[in-house]
Each structure stands twice: as C-alpha cells, then as structure tokens.
Amino acid sequence: MKTKINAIIIDDEKNALESLALKITKYFPQITVTHKFQSPQKAVQEINQNHPDLVFIDIEMPILSGFDVLSKIENPNFEIIFVTAYNQYAIEAIKHCAIGYIIKPIDNDELQLAIGNALKNINQKSALEKNRLLLQNLVNNGNSTIVIPTQKGLSLIKTADIIRFEGIDGYTQIILGNSKPILSSYSIGKFCKIASLHHFYLVHKSHFINLNYMNEYLNEGYIIMTNNDKVPIAKAKRTSFLEKIKNI
C-alpha cells in the first residue's frame, strides 16, 4: 500500500485552492499537496513532467476546463477528483467512469469519502483505464442528445447539430444547422451547465456557441459562424476566448 501520496489542485479561484488544500492536510496527513495552480496550462505541464498520484480539478475554468486539462495529459495514470459547483454537470459527465467528484461548497464528509475512495483506487492502479473511458465518453458526447423543453413539449436534439444558443428575455433560442430554430423555456444559464455541451463556449452573457461551427473571429469583437450568423463577444471574454481557441 502506498503511504505517501502527491497531489495537486487546479482551480482558478485562489480562495478555493487554499481552502481545499487546508482540508486535505487536516484530514489526510499522508497526502502532500505539491502544487496549487490557478493556471490550467501550467498544471498540464506539471502533470506531464512529474506524474502526481492524485489531481483535484475544478471543472468550470476560463480558457481550459477540467475536461480540457485531462485531454491534454499524455499518460493520465493518476486518480482524479473533479470539483464543481453544479451537481448535475458533474454527474452527467463522470457517473459511468467511477471517478470521484465533490460539489462546491465542499462538505467535509463528502470530501473525506471522495478522497478515501481515491486512495483505495490508487492502490488498485485502476486510474488509467477509468480516465481513458472518461475521455472516450467526452468525445462521444459530441454526438449525444439533449432533451430541450419547448412551448409544445420536449425536443430531442443532437448536440452536434446545434450551432449556438441565444438568450432572449429569459428564454433561449437554439439555432440548428439542419432545421428551424427552437425556442426553449430554459434560460441560457441552464444550457451552460450541461456537461455534454463542454465543446461550447459562452462568448457573451446571451450567446453560447458551438466552437465546431466557428468560422472567423473579427477584431472589432464579433465571431462569424458557419451559417454566417454574426455573434458579439464581450470585451471581458475576448482574451480568454482567444486563449481557448489556441488551445483547441
């Protein structure tokens, strides 16, 4: 049984990083938090170079999400505990892969349970297979189907057919590549929390786009989609969006 465990934490919020590190030290003295990263890109370099035993990853981060980080690891042979503010988001993405997750704000009992399971898995050396399965599931999610409540009832839409979402007065218009737009009673924020839409990006508070349908970025602050829709990008989002595109 491995008695000394090296761990890293990745979260763009500094307070969340420090708080989680303190909790880990308090409850699991055998775990050494070797690094705490607010930058997902730097975390990728560290993981590929030094191969930690355990990685805590926030799912929702600018530029690279927790899923993006995992996809960039050359040999993901380490135990993962995802950290998320969205219960549904985490469960949908990882429930079939036996990978741990904790919900923000972090409950001490849930944290101890997740870490306890991770330590058992480290000794069973099962992380690589589970992580590969998760990556495969994320790839397959590009062809997944989501259920969208509409004025008429429910529509089942393949995520690969969705060009973008546009928020309109608390409702959301879904623009599709192969049929007429659909108006949903869901707010755009609801769609931003669906794990199978991880390849989408919120470029503006009212615009959530499928990066696979992006055709051009204009310096004056617009994105041209493949259907010629011109979508504004918020000034505060431009730097992180350009970094996101570079990392795809």
Joined together, the tokens standing for residue 27 give 């409850």
The pLDDT value given to residue 138: 58
The pLDDT value given to residue 193: 74
Joined together, the tokens standing for residue 214 give 């992006």
5-140: which CATH topology? Rossmann fold (3.40.50)
pLDDT-above-90 percentage for the chain: 48
Placement of tokens 């041209």 in the chain: 224
Please state at what angle helix 108-124 crosses helix 127-140, rounded to 10 degrees. 110
- What is the distance between the terminal CA atoms of the chain, rounded to a whole angstrom? 38
This prediction's pTM = 0.64
The pLDDT value given to residue 203: 95
The sheet that has 207-210: what strands, in order across it?
182-184, 171-176, 162-168, 207-210, 200-204
144-246: which CATH topology? OB fold (Dihydrolipoamide Acetyltransferase, E2P) (2.40.50)
Q: Which residue has the higher pLDDT, 194 or 35?
A: 35
pLDDT tens sequence across 42-72: 999 999 999 999 999 998 887 777 877 887 8
pLDDT tens sequence across 96-115: 455 788 888 899 999 999 99
Give domain limits for the chain: 5-140, 144-246
Dihedral sign for Cα atoms in the order 171, 194, 63, 111: positive
On whether the CB atoms of residues 174 and 133 are closer than 8 A, the answer is: no
